[in-house]
Structures are given as C-alpha cells and as structure tokens.
Amino acid sequence: MLSTKLFASLYLFFSHRRRILYALTLVAIMVSLLAFWRLDMHEDIRSMLPDDRSNAASVFELLQQTPFARKVIVNLDGGADLPEGKLIAAADQLAAAMTPPYFTRVFTGPGESVGWELFAWLIKAESNLITERDIKKIEQHLTSEHIQRCLKELYARLLTPEGSAMKGLFQVDPLALRFIGMEKLRFLNMIPQMQLKNGHFISSDGRSALLIADTPLAITDAHRARKMLNHFQRLASAKVPDTIDVSLISGHRYTLANTDAIKRDVFIILICSSLAIFAVFLMFMRTWGGLFVFLVPLAVLSFAAAGVSLIYGRVSAITIGFGAVLLGISVDFAIHVYFALRTQPHHMATTVAQVSRPIVFSALTTMGAFSVLLFSSLPVQRELAVFSIIGIGAALILSLIIFPHLAKTRSSPKKAGVTDRVQKFYPAGRAIICGWLVLLTVCGWQATKLEFNGDLRALNLVPDDIRAAEVKLRQAWGDMRGNAVIFAEGSDLQSALETNDRLFQYFSANRAAEGIVSLAPVLPSYASQRANQQRWIEFWSEANQERLRRLLTSQASPMGFRPDAFTPFFKRLSRPSSLVNPGDLKALGLGEIVNSLIVSQEGRTAVLTIVPDTPLMADLIQRRGPELAGVKLASQVHFRHIISQAIADDFLRFILAAFAVVCLCLGLLFRNLKMILLALIPVVSGMLFMVGVMGALGMAFNLINVIAAILIIGLGVDYGIFMVNNLSNGTDHRTARAVWVSGLTTLAGFGALVLARHPALHSIGVTVLLGITAAVPSALLVIPALARRGWK
C-alpha cells in the first residue's frame, strides 16, 4: 500500500531531522493559535438558513421585512393605580431621550392631530373610498325613519358645548356618512389591544404605554447591540419613575443573549472536554507518550479554527463550539498509534506503516462523510464540514508523521483492563447477537415516531427575562408580532396597490377580512379610486339627490333647520375629489402605519397585509387564482413547515450520500462484502439507537441533528474499520483497547456539549452521545461475536 510505504519513509526521513520537524510544527501551531485568538465569531440566525434561492430562503427574507421584525418595542407598565397622564408623560420623556446614534425615530402614537382632521379628510375622500357594498348600505339609509333619527342626533349634539365647533361638519355630513369611512380605519389597527389616548398608544386595560423605535443597528451586530441596550437601561433609569416597569423587545436582545450564551458555552465546553480527555489519559496512558496524545487535539482545534476562518472570514460561534466534538474525534488516531507503538517499540517505522493503513482509511471515510455537507444550502453546515475536514486532516498528519517521534514508549506487560473483561463476553456470541438484534428492532419501531422540527426558535436561547418580557407584551397588547404577512408585489406602487385591492376583495368574498390589517380600504389604487368615483357619481344622480333633498327638508323643517342648512352637503355630492395618495395618510399622523405596510426593495414595491397565522389563511393563499399571482405569504407556521420538510429531505439525502461515500471507502479497503457489512455495524447501531431513543422520548429532529447523524456515520465506521482490520489480521487486545479509549474520548467531547445552555450545541451533544453510546459497544462486542460465527 502506498500509505504504508509513505508513512514509513516519512518516519525514517524525520528520525534524523527531528529538530526541524519540531520547529516547523511549533511554528505552525503558534501561527494557528494567533489566528484562533483573532477569530471573528458571530451568532447570526442566517447561518442556519438556506442561502440559495429556495422557498425557505425567500420566505425568511420576507419575514425580515414584516412591520415589527426590525423594530425596537418598548412597553411601559404603570400598573392599575398610576394615572393615565403620568404614564403618558413618562412615555414622552423616554421617547425624547431615545436619540441617535442608537435610535433614529421613536413613535408613541399618531399624535393629537388625529381627530377632527381625520373626520374632515374622510368626508373629503369619501367618493374615492366608497365601494359597491357601501353604496348599498347608503341606499338602505335613504328612508324617512333613518333620516329623522340622524337629524335628531345631530340636533342634540348641536345643543352641547362643542356643538358650535361641529356645525360645519354637520352641514357637509348630516347623514353621518363619515362613519362608513371610520369603519374602514379599523383595518389599520396593527396592535390588537390598543386604544388612542391623547394621540398615544395605550393598552385597552389602561395600564401600559407603547413606544416603537427605529434603529440603524443591524440585528446581528452583537457588539453594538450591547452598547445600545446598556444605553437604554441608563435612559430608562433616569427618565422613567421606579413605579413604572420598562421592558424592551427587539432582535438585538435575542442576538446578544445567544452570543453571550455561546461564548460562555464554548469556554466551558472546551475546558470540560479537555479535562475529561485528560482524565482518560490518566486512566489509560500514564506515560510521556500518552501526554502528547492529549496535546494532539488541542493543536488540531487551533488548525481547524484558523483554516475555516481563512476560508469564511467570520465564523459561526456554533462551528467553534463544535470544537469540543473535534477534540474527541481528532485524538482517536493518536490513540491507535500510541497503543500500536507500545506493542512494538523497537520497530517504530514498521509499526507506523502497519497502523497507517486503517488510520488513513478511517480518516478518509470520516472526511468523506463530512464532505457531503459541503453541498448543503445551510452556511453553518458547510462551515462545520470544512472545520471537521481540516481538523481530521490535521489529526492524521500529527498522528502519523509527528506523534511517533514524540511517543517514546516501551512495551509493557499485558494488564487486565476493560477490554480484557469485555473479551470474556466473546464466547457468549449468540446471546450478544440476539440482544443486539432485539435492541435494533425496538429502536427501529420507535424511530417511526420521530418528528422533524423546523422551528428555528427552538435552536436559539431565550433567557427567562426575555421570555417574561414577551409574555408581558402579549398580555398588554395582544400577539402583535405573531401574525402572518402577505406581500402584494408590483413593479411600482400603483401596480402593487392594484394587487392589494384584489387580495382584499378575495378575502372579503371568502368572509376572511375580519381581523386583518390592510391599506386597501383607505388607500386603494388609482384605478380602484376612479371606479369608486364613477360609482359615487352614478348613485347620486339628479333624481336621487332630489329625492334626498325632499326627505331632508320634510324632516328638518319641524326641528327648526333652515331650508339651506345642508346646501354644503349637496354641493360635495357632485364635486370630484382628488385621488388619495400615501402622503394624505402621512399628513394625518398615520405615516408609521403607511411606512410599515409599504416596502420598496430592488426596484419592486410590495404592499403588506397582516393576517392571523392560521391554516385558513394559508389555504386561501394556496387556492388563490392567477389574478393574485403576485402575492406571497410570509408565515412563521408556513416557514416552520418548510424547514421541517427541508430537514427531513436533507436527512435522507445526506445520510444516503454519506453511506455511499463510506461504503466506497470500505470497498477499497476490504474488498470483501462480509467485512464491509461488519465494519458498518457500529454505524447502523448508532444511527438506529439515536433515532429510536429520540422517537421514544419525543425529541424532535432539527437541522443541527443532521450534523449529528453525519458524525455517527463517520465515527462509527472508524470503530468498525479498526475492529475488522484487527480481526482479519489476528486478534490483538490493544486494538480493542484503543477503540475503547477512543470511544471514551469521543464521549468526553460530546458529554461536554450536553452542558451547553445554547439549544443548538446541546442538541448536538445529546443526539450524538446517544449514537456513540451504541456504536462503541457494538464495535467491541457485536463485530467479534459475528466474526466468530464465520462473518469474516
């Protein structure tokens, strides 16, 4: 074999040049450590999302454009006893203090101008907003009874102190048609449990005030997010009385919490995994050569981190947290070299040559298994693949080229150990095989219960204080951030508004318009407004106007109204009004709503409609006709479904691809079907045990668990290669001992991940821990048991 001759020759070459080898190695380690120290880590949810043109990627991009996705939301809870005036004053003080560079605009409500001006505008724009349904409603009101009731109410209002101020309003709108327009304004209410008091957002129970702020800070900028949140805390302490509870919700807060958690986890994981591996060293390798085994994974970690940072620049913190796992993987090769050298310490080159063949193929199969992740659409999976491939490659070089020169060891008498006690089970091969088959059968049955979870929130840490703030926000204002959003797109604003009009009509026709937020009722497209104007003119024909004039005169005269009292009303019926545009609504104090529901990006404009995130809405969008082709749904429920399906597809695709690569490598190594099947036993055992236990315990499979599955394949086949190679060349207890110690070091790495607070790291630890727990015993017990019954 080429690898056998190559590593034997390299050992002999460097045996006379060890100082040069040590110096080069030390320089490489120092450079990689420097790169590791300067590593730019990030905690960006985008690394867990497809960056291709898939449906999931497009839906996520839409979700980022929803009204509250990038806002800073502040809730001031004054309790039941605080006067409303003091609550509003505190909100104004805090809003005035929230200035650049952290906050660019703070919105406390539409302002006090929303009132008479809004009434006046609704009357002026009435002909533009009136629909066929509204016309029918007006027609039903043109009766003597209804007109009499309207005039009596009008007369009573005129006798009140504010009646004189409202006289002009009543002259142009004696039938209170403005309330048809007022009803349309309910479709602009983006906050379910909100009322307006003195132009401010006040919760329906009167306890809370709301601030909505813009910030120039990117949600993923953890460093500046920390400064912003600290700055806000100082402002809240200085400007808001202690009796008012202030809570803030924004994406920056989530980013910072996850970044801090991962940094803490990485530190704890690396320390704990290193200590655990060192404990294994103390139990099984109490020599100076064994000490260098312990140092190999530490060097590998720095090489892998430096390599992945050179390729990607900024690296996900999850990738670096994966370093604990790499510690457990990378040490395996050095352990096998160590125990092989203890067998023949006086024939170092020959021993290195003999052990290099299974080590090289183990490294190739593991790297091959990880290489399938290079074709993933998820950046974090590609990063982890590169990180692992570089690390395993570095471990291979360190173990076969450098470590033999450091591992000055001597042969030692065989001592009874765990592997020797394990060998006592070999005669009971039939019982082992039967027990193994029963276990796999049970696990296969429970695996059918496994579910796939596409909720990315399950992979992010939400501390108790943030969760409490979320609950308080929902209790005060309703679920303002949990709705679905529909995008009506067009090449320009008018084409987008036309699509939005058709969307609203579609919902109305299906009795699904209640509870939605839409601009269509108050900002129709120009085409719809012209159609509305024509409908208005046709309805108020001379005959209808004359009939209404007679009805008004007959009912108004007995009440003392002058004959010309309502002349302004009849004048405006035939007077065309200018078309409504977004500027009109902004002038009325509704700019925040308009800006939130109209989004322009990359030469296209979208008008947003907020709807309940229910199966009914998703079904309606699914069944839409060709006239709504430019409509897209951005739904958390829909997004989770897409991701769940993608995880299920990726699981099968990557597992099959990894199996194919592994089988190819095993075929090149053994060229014997029975030996290939024997080597796959730890893989099959680990995979079935993992998915079986997860299914039995109700643990859902997420996109991070796909990495865990690849790990089990790569590591399990390593154990299989060493055990089958050992059995085919004559049983050597030191190989079994090396597999046992390798398994312990791997479990040490994964065991440390279980301590992580961050759900993504914890998820890797738990699931792979299950797989390796089954893979190691099956390699040590099942493979020899089957081999003794003729399977070799």
For residues 483-500, average pLDDT: 93
Is the pLDDT at 61 greater than 90? The verdict is no
Hey, which residues does 75 pair with through a beta bridge?
210, 247
Q: How far apart are CA 566 and CA 241, in angstroms?
A: 52
- Mean pLDDT, the chain, as a whole number? 84
The upper half-sphere exposure of residue 677, i.e. CA atoms within 13 Å in the direction of its Cβ, equals 8
Is the pLDDT at 759 greater than 90? The verdict is no
Identify the CA nearest to 299 among candidates 32, 89, 73, 530. 32
Confidence of residue 46 (pLDDT cuts 50, 70, 90): low
Most confident option among 79-93, 104-118, 424-438: 79-93
Task: Provide the 8-state DSSP code for 578.
Answer: P
Q: Return the pLDDT at 443.
A: 92
Is the pLDDT at 171 greater than 70? The verdict is yes
Burial class (CB in 10 A: 0-12, 13-18, 19+), 418: middle
Q: What percent of the chain has pLDDT over 90?
A: 23
Confidence of residue 497 (pLDDT cuts 50, 70, 90): very high
Q: What percent of the chain has pLDDT over 70?
A: 91
Q: Return the pLDDT at 116.
A: 67
In this predicted model, which residue has the larger pLDDT, 207 or 115? 207
Domain boundaries defined on the chain = 2-46+255-458+639-788
Q: Return the pLDDT at 162.
A: 74
Confidence of residue 729 (pLDDT cuts 50, 70, 90): low
Contacts of 242 (CB under 8 A, 6+ apart): none
Name the least confident of 140-154, 287-301, 442-456.
Answer: 287-301
The upper half-sphere exposure of residue 342, i.e. CA atoms within 13 Å in the direction of its Cβ, equals 23
The residue behind tokens 């890797």 is 764
Name the least confident of 125-129, 537-541, 747-751, 754-758.
Answer: 747-751
Most confident option among 94-108, 208-222, 326-340: 94-108
Peptide bond into 101 cis (omega under 30): yes
Question: Is 2-46+255-458+639-788 in CATH node 2.40.160.20?
Answer: no
Phi, psi of 91 (to 5 degrees): -65, -40
Q: Return the pLDDT at 791.
A: 56
Q: Return the pLDDT at 230.
A: 95
Peptide bond into 413 cis (omega under 30): no
Q: Return the pLDDT at 290.
A: 67
For residues 401-427, average pLDDT: 59
pLDDT, one tens digit per residue, over 569-610 is 888 887 778 899 999 998 888 888 898 899 988 778 999 999
Q: Determine how many CB atoms are found less than 10 A away from the CB of residue 131.
A: 20
Q: Return the pLDDT at 77.
A: 95
Q: Return the pLDDT at 299.
A: 85
Is the pLDDT at 266 greater than 80? The verdict is no
Name the least confident of 112-126, 128-142, 346-360.
Answer: 112-126
Task: Provide the 8-state DSSP code for 590.
Answer: I
Q: How far apart are CA 266 and CA 264, in angstroms?
A: 6
Q: How far apart are CA 679 and CA 683, in angstroms?
A: 8
Q: Return the pLDDT at 559.
A: 86
In this predicted model, which residue has the larger pLDDT, 455 or 400? 400
- Give the helix/strand (H/E) hosting 632: strand 631-634
pLDDT, one tens digit per residue, over 361-372 is 888 888 888 888
For residues 234-239, average pLDDT: 94
Q: Return the pLDDT at 416.
A: 45
| Structure tokens that stand for 239 in this block | 């400007």
Identify the CA nearest to 372 among candidates 612, 573, 662. 662
Q: Identify the sign of the CA torsion 759, 762, 764, 769.
A: negative
pLDDT, one tens digit per residue, over 418-466 is 445 545 545 557 888 898 999 999 999 999 988 887 676 777 788 888 8
Q: Return the pLDDT at 425.
A: 47
Q: Return the pLDDT at 52.
A: 66
Confidence of residue 288 (pLDDT cuts 50, 70, 90): low
The residue behind tokens 């009009």 is 501
Is the pLDDT at 286 greater than 80? The verdict is no
Q: Return the pLDDT at 346.
A: 59
Residue 442 near residue 322, CB atoms below 8 Å:
no
For residues 386-390, average pLDDT: 90
| Structure tokens that stand for 613 in this block | 């995130």
Is the pLDDT at 417 greater than 70? The verdict is no
pLDDT, one tens digit per residue, over 507-531 is 998 888 888 999 999 999 999 999 9
Q: Return the pLDDT at 518.
A: 95
What Cα–Cα distance (Å) separates residue 259 from each residue in 232, 254, 306, 486, 710?
19, 9, 20, 32, 26
What Cα–Cα distance (Å) separates residue 527 from each residue in 6, 263, 321, 487, 496?
79, 56, 57, 19, 12
Strands 194-197 and 200-203: antiparallel
Q: Return the pLDDT at 48.
A: 67
